[in-house]
A and B are shown apart, each in its own frame.
Chain A
Amino acid sequence: MDQLVATQVKPSAPSDIQEKPAKSDHVELPVGGMNCTHCPPTIEKALKSLPGVGSAHVNLADGMAHVDFDPTQTKVGDLLRAIRSVGYAAGTAKMRIPIKSMHCTTCVTRIELALQMTPGVVSARASLGTNAVDVEYQPEKTSFDAIRRAIESAGHRVAEPKPAKEPSGEPVEPEEAARQEEYRTLMRKFWFAAIVSVPVMAMSYPDLVPGLRDWMPAGSETRRIVWALLGLFSFPVLAWSGSQFFAGMWDALKHRAANMHTLIAIGVSAAFLYSIIAVAFPSLFPRMALAEVFWDVTDVVIALVTLGLALELKAKGRTSEAIKKLIGLQAKTARVVRDGKEIDLPVEEVIVGDTVVVRPGDKIPVDGEVMEGASALDESMITGESMPVEKQVGDEVIGSTLNKTGSFKFRATKVGKDTALASIIRMVKDAQGSKAPIQRVVDAVSGYFVPTVMILAILSFIAWYLFGPEPRIIYATIVLVTTLIIACPCALGLATPTSLTVGIGKGAENGILIRSGDALQSSEKLDAIILDKTGTITRGEPSLTDVVAATGQTEDTVLRLAAALERGSEHPLGEAIVKGAETRGIPSVATIGFAAIPGHGVSGSVEGRQVLLGNAKLMRDRGVAIDALVPAWERLATEGKTPMYVAADGQPLGLVAVADTVKPDSKAAIETLIRLGIEVVMLTGDNERTAKAIASQVGIARVLAEVLPDDKAHEVQKLQLEGKTVGMVGDGINDAPALAQADVGFAIGTGTDVAIEASDVTLIKGSLQGVVTAIEISRATMRNVRQNLFGAFGYNVLGIPVAMGVLYPILGLLLSPIIASAAMAFSSVTVVTNANRLRFFQPRRIAS
């Protein structure tokens, strides 16, 4: 079997790790009641005395016991009991319970005392700041109901019967509620300002309205009184509808900063003050015509900008829809076996090591490993894979996925903030908050923007007053107010983060976790992608590809006998043959006297015939004439496959060939990458022939074969030295250094192992299709960011000079402050709306 060994798939990560869980398992158990440095050694000693415990480490700082143990010899329950036997609380769950009407420090003490007296409660800490109590308790001794009764006995009420939480433990609803409330307040402020604006607008320009002109002629006492009344109406608009601008300005001024609120507040105040002077002291003006009022400007500007703020708030809420969807995936309850009984628990109370029962149609509550039963799971919400995935004993299940057909029991391995879903949510949130390099352009400007606008507004006031046409004071005031109001720092500030939030969320919906804005921006510029062969382009495990029958034989016979021989074998190639026979519907037959001949093959007696399976040397040694089959053998070998001869009673029957096969959608994905203008390079430790064979199947021209694992990063670097921005796609474990070296490292992750550190992008669904989608998302997002930045910069660069009146000498054009405020409100809403367009992004579906 020399040939066999030579062309066999290099043992890669999966086979290495498979060894481990069989013998060792790792758990982290929270330990309560540790308060001294001698506690950890005591607990460690107790744990190590158990059979099968490899290592035990107790950390005083985070209050966790880290234990490696053999699950076949000892159970998590035993570990918990050992910790308890030396006097510490173990396997505790933590819960934050909101409390109604907790106002005083005595309430805090009373609640804490009541809870501490409840059996099973390890610790309780109430806080006036959060209006909640954090309870640490042992779920098998107490329940949420008992805790609630304890709180009620102290004279308080739990705010909600079941605290709605996101898996990472942070409440999300208050934030959403605050947003809703703010939206409603802004809308009320808008409607008030808008309603007041109507009569004020009409009465402010009496000369334009025929009836009014005669009733309140210019300079008349009637006009002055009407205008004064309008001022009284407008004051609440300024004081209430516009209050956020003044509050915002004041808060910023305290920090020597200026923002959009500063500009609006100064703008409307200037208009308001001018109007007060015009009504109260018209004699200060050299001519009556100058004593104009601008109440309409104050009211309409405040109405429009407030409406803009409200719409922006609403649209911004939509940008984080992806996160909300993810949080909504979390199951609320779990059916857990405790003391031999099945009980329904809130999902927060499930602890590591619990046995969880899942029935058809149930949501999987936490991450775990199937112990009993089998089923098909819909994992599309996490991986984006639409086909149900078969699960058997020993397989990993992911919390929040949906059970379709069967019932099964599984052991919880990750709960709370450690579950795959919680990690995904955390990663997506972090990424959404991170900065893309392109944002630095904005950062450089933002500190100078608002003060610069204020200076420009003053300069234009001076210019118009010094050189402008009469009435100079009115023109200068209008220009000052317009310039302050048209400038929109918000549009600039919103441009990048909103698009990033939507884009990264869109990735998560498609099973692609983009770690940062940096990764997103770099993905867009990739011009070469290196693909690791095994496990990335190919499945990473061999399967049956060809069956060749010698003259006078049938393929079925060849396969039936070969599969019968290999049924006893544990060799991966043998398993591939057995599986291949099963999928082709070949009946299984028994083997007698199976024997493995090291380096050559296997032999045994099937259906009364002496059958051989192996390489040419084995056949020649046993005197089998294989010359007729050699051409077929060579053809298969050239294709990168591993062919094996099959013979019975000294007669050659044919060949079976196995190979690591290409994933069904790899070819289409690689074709798309090439069409996107990206050079695709294959990297493998395999020999040149196998590598070339796979490369030609999927259409890759450049192959780097026989690369040692340690040299992969070096190969990435060499490609970077050619001046290319290089992406590397690999499994995240063997390829970690290469992923880190690449400009963008794509880790193909599977199951619950989503938080792969070395990668910039994690593809949860193990398909190359994800690389295409990731690049498409990055291109769409960055295009969106550029549109936003271009729009926002362009708007300000054009709008501010027009507001200052540069077009007046040429075209006689001067903007009204009302138009300016409409443009300003519109510009930031446009930016957020444009970012929201990304929500409609659909990944291209490639027919496989």
Chain B
Amino acid sequence: MTPDRWIVLALGLALIGFIVWFFWLKRAKGVRAAETSGGYQEVMVLVKGGYTPDTIIVRHGKPVRINFRREETAGCSDKVVFADFEKTADLPTGQTVGVEFLPKEPGEHVFSCPMGMFRGRLVVE
């Protein structure tokens, strides 16, 4: 093999390694929901190209309110679905919409847009 071939091979494999690490292996640290005086665990999530933060940590047995604020017009993100809690909410652009539910048991749940392009994790402790 010529040297240029070796270079392309090495660079290509390195790039693949980077993609695997970047998209799949590195996990974001979660944001813990704050407890309000009303007894709710509240957290604000920005919807723009994804959910920020996209990992939310809550405790079980206490009601959770996640306030979504969507700041884009892309079609995909106009709804958020909590499939495990059978909750959906419309997210009109520029408005804050609260989603409330009660996680009864510890576990991990996914919330996403209906198409699954935007995904977030809810960790119940």
Contact = CB atoms under 8 A, between A and B. Distances in A.
B49 A443 contact: no
Given A129-B94, A433-B88, A497-B115, A255 B74 contact: no
Interface stretch (A377-385, A457-465, A550-558): A457-465
Contacts of B81: 433-435
Interface stretch (B12-20, B58-66, B101-109): B12-20
A462 B50 contact: no
Interface in A406-464: 429-430, 433-435, 439, 442-443, 446-448, 450-451, 454-455, 458-459, 461-462
Interface stretch (A256-264, A522-530, A660-668): A256-264
Contacts of B24: 448, 451
Given A182-B73, A461-B12, A493-B115, A251 B20 contact: no
A650 B59 CA distance: 82
> Which of B13, B51, B88 has the most A CB atoms < 10 Å from its CB?
B88
Nearest to B112: A443
Given A258-B23, A433-B79, A455 B73 contact: no
> Which of A250, A252, A434, A516 has the most B CB atoms < 10 Å from its CB?
A434
A178 B93 contact: yes
B92 interface: yes
B78 A175 contact: yes
A29 B29 CA distance: 46
B54 interface: yes
A248 interface: yes
B117 A433 contact: no
B93 A256 contact: no
Nearest to B54: A255
Contacts of A450: 23
Question: What DSSP secondary structure best describes chain A's contact surface?
Answer: helix
Nearest to A130: B95
B35 interface: no
A357 interface: no
A429 B20 CA distance: 37
Nearest to A456: B16
Interface in A22-78: none
Interface in A234-255: 247-248, 250-252, 254-255
Given A442-B116, A455-B19, A255 B90 contact: no
B9 A129 contact: no
Interface string B1-22: 1000100110011011001101
Contacts, number: 116
Given A465-B5, A497-B115, A454 B50 contact: no
B119 interface: yes
Contacts of A247: 49
A446 B116 contact: yes
B8 to A, nearest CB: 5
A262 to B, nearest CB: 10
Nearest to B4: A465
A843 to B, nearest CB: 26
Contact of B49 (A248, A454, A476): A248
B114 A178 contact: no
Nearest to A426: B90
Contacts of B75: 179, 313, 316
Contacts of B49: 247-248, 250-252, 254-255
Contacts of B96: 129
Given A258-B23, A434-B86, A451-B20, A458 B15 contact: yes
Contacts of B50: 251-252, 254-255, 257
A572 B22 CA distance: 74
B55 to A, nearest CB: 10
B92 A256 contact: no
Contact of A434 (B19, B88, B90): B88
A494 interface: yes
A6 interface: no
B95 A129 contact: yes
A170 B16 contact: no
A256 B81 CA distance: 20
A50 to B, nearest CB: 32
A454 B19 contact: yes
A380 B94 CA distance: 36
A171 B95 CA distance: 11
Nearest to A448: B24
Contacts of B73: 178-179, 181-182
A248 B114 contact: no
Contacts of B74: 248
A190 B86 CA distance: 39
Contacts of A159: none
Nearest to B114: A497
Nearest to A480: B12
Nearest to B74: A248
A174 B91 CA distance: 12
B86 A458 contact: no
A646 B118 CA distance: 75
A493 B76 contact: yes
A660 B74 CA distance: 56
Interface in A293-326: 313, 316
Contacts of A343: none
A443 B93 contact: no
A466 interface: yes
Interface string A110-154: 000000000000000000011000000000000000000000000
B28 A256 contact: yes
Contacts of A255: 49-52, 54, 118
A494 B5 contact: no
Nearest to A461: B12
B98 to A, nearest CB: 13
A476 B9 CA distance: 12
Interface string A684-720: 0000000000000000000000000000000000000
B58 to A, nearest CB: 20
B94 A257 contact: no
A430 B88 contact: yes
A466 B9 contact: yes
Contacts of A448: 24
Contacts of B28: 256
Given A175-B93, A433-B79, A465-B8, A257 B20 contact: no
Contact of A462 (B12, B95, B118, B119): B12
A462 B13 CA distance: 9
A252 B12 CA distance: 23
A174 B118 CA distance: 23
Contacts of B92: 170-171, 174-175
Nearest to A61: B38
A435 B118 CA distance: 15
Question: Lowest 7 A-B CB distances belong to which pairs?
Answer: A251-B49, A255-B50, A493-B115, A433-B88, A462-B12, A451-B23, A446-B116
9 contacts: A129-B96, A174-B93, A251-B49, A251-B50, A256-B26, A258-B23, A439-B116, A458-B16, A493-B117
Interface of B: 1, 5, 8-9, 12-13, 15-16, 19-20, 22-24, 26, 28, 48-52, 54, 72-76, 78-79, 81, 83, 86, 88-90, 92-96, 110, 112, 114-119
Given A251-B72, A255-B52, A433-B81, 12 more contacts: A129-B95, A174-B92, A182-B73, A250-B49, A255-B50, A255-B118, A256-B26, A433-B88, A443-B112, A459-B12, A462-B9, A490-B115
